[in-house]
Amino acid sequence: METLIHASKAGSIRGEIAIVISDNLKAQGLQKAKTLGVDTCVVERKLFSSKADQEKKILRTLEEVVIDGICLAGFMHVLGKEFLDNYPLKILNIHPSLLPAFQGLDAVKKALDYGVKISGCTVHFVDYGVDTGPVIIQSAIPIHSGETVEALEKRILEKEHTVYPLALDWFCKGLLVVKNRHVYLSQDIALSSSIQNGFIVPSPL
């Protein structure tokens, strides 16, 4: 979240972070957002009789702000169908694996336990499943022998801080096109040499 706000303010993303919404009153991101001059809102689950009612409140909040898209950042809940139907192919999420491998929670630990040699992160559109939406961009990194979960999480996070702002910038510019689950760029994009290595990006139409 903080990375996206900084990227927006620096002009790396052609869009403004309008609001940060959390279901946790104690979330550290709320204070970070306020410090960076971004409005915040807390919609706690315990204040609503159902998850659907909580999501309706979030939807009303977003309607008041007027937004073009949503970025999930550490929001560890599956959004309901009614919520998703209001923002089709307009909700982005990031996951610490090369999807569709190791969906859901504890993805880094799952990758290490499985013994794969390559891991990474994926920015994708959110659909009705858990980490099953169309893939926008991925970044791959080799797993070191004997690497811990904490060490691999740290290296993946560094990649996340590059790919998420990049994907959001493409989204804000209207460059992302989805056809039969495949995400394409509506024009050829020249990537800087510093981010080309290890990145799997959409093909131009």
d(CA 120, CA 26): 29
Q: Which of 95, 144, 161, 182 is catalytic?
A: 95
95 is catalytic: yes
Q: In what order do the strands lie in the sheet with 118-125?
A: 70-71, 91-95, 118-125, 135-142, 199-200
For 204, the enclosing helix (H) or strand (E) is strand 203-204
d(CA 115, CA 143): 9
Q: In what order do the strands lie in the sheet with 203-204?
A: 176-179, 182-185, 203-204
Could you give phi then psi for residue 2, rounded to 5 degrees? -60, -40
In 3D, which of 135, 139, 141 has the Cα closest to residue 185? Answer: 135
Q: Which residues are catalytic?
A: 95
